[in-house]
Structure 1
């Protein structure tokens, strides 16, 4: 039967290709043969293969590798999370809660900015994550933000470190950025996708 199956499948494929490319060439006898071939192939496909004998692992005293045995050193499934898993879950919950607070703050500030700067509504600007006037690189990371909100960000940076003053140290610049971004979050960093 195995040899028959190996011969039937390629034959059926060839006949099917012939039937699709030139159906008028097939005689009714070949069509009947094709139908029986497919029926036999489906019958072969639907039968289960015989179960395999268990394989033995060399050097393990003849224990069966495919038998379900509990692992040594405890149960296979432990419903109790580890201390690290609990700590990771706690941090994720805290981060998710903090992100939600920042998202709400962003939407509120964006609405206020659109009221204060109505001429900029609908426009977008690139905001340098590390502002250039604070010593950030010219080709540094930028984020596309709504223009009214960008104006709020710029004003917040100007309050912390006005234009015209000498550039702050790197540590002071990072402190200014942290203070501003906690108050005025960048939307992409809190899961809001800008157009």
Structure 2
């Protein structure tokens, strides 16, 4: 990461704020997907399926004093992406589920997990508590890495909004085994 000496509003760094269409996003994901989208072998010897995906496994992750619900899909995966959504979203978000299904078809496993309990979602202090969210994300990641079907696979984060800040924070911790972070509309923090 790089911190510019003068960082103002994020808008100062962009000249085009045009919203991308879903079709544009799908096309960009398609272009970056390995050739396995049609059933060809991936670079790691795995084969991505082009047929309908298996339903997600409902999982529960112990994260300190709370149990967090999630949905885990591990096709013959080359890696696993943990979705870290922001305030107002959940593992049931149609957008997150859609993106997860595209990643699954491209040969990546996915974990959509809520970092707050249903009761905590109503506490605005917890919704924006980056340290709490990052700590929970680290616990979720440790749980994920311990799952037999994930052993040895690289793990990445896909963070949106407040979840992007939590993803960046958790990935920056010493000893983190996170291989990549994608931030979509994130609330990154400095310091």
Q: TM-score, normalised by structure 1?
A: 0.22
Higher relative CO (Cα under 8 Å, sequence separation at least 6) belongs to 2
Larger Cα Rg: Structure 1 or Structure 2?
1
Higher relative helix content: 1
Higher relative strand content: 2
